[in-house]
Structure 1
């Protein structure tokens, strides 16, 4: 299907864009093929647990009460 479509288009900016897209897709497929054949499969990532980060995020989410000092003077 790509052959007749490519041959019937006028060689303008649209054709150049389609041609560039085909070349990018072809390069992506070649890279995926090389990665699948030459690279060892990766193990799934371990879940990271950061309890201190979750505690900090929870502290930030709660509104903090206003602190009023004894003997503080207000200037009006």
Structure 2
């Protein structure tokens, strides 16, 4: 059985500053129109009981509808957003 994992999504380079609090870190630096491959990998990685930690909410989602979609994906997997 897998233990609860803290998963971080942050801009490229911030992982070194917050590494101690997260078990897995997904970093990306993308333009507003590019595909977010690291976020996609992160959402596939997250499991029941995991906690997704973001450094800044505006780095997680590009819009309110995008945020709602991401939160929905986390809820389906019974994970939380911090």
Name the TM-score class by shorter chain: under 0.3
TM-score by length of 2: 0.22
TM-score by length of 1: 0.24
Question: Which of the two has greater helix per residue?
Answer: 1
Question: Which of the two has greater strand per residue?
Answer: 2
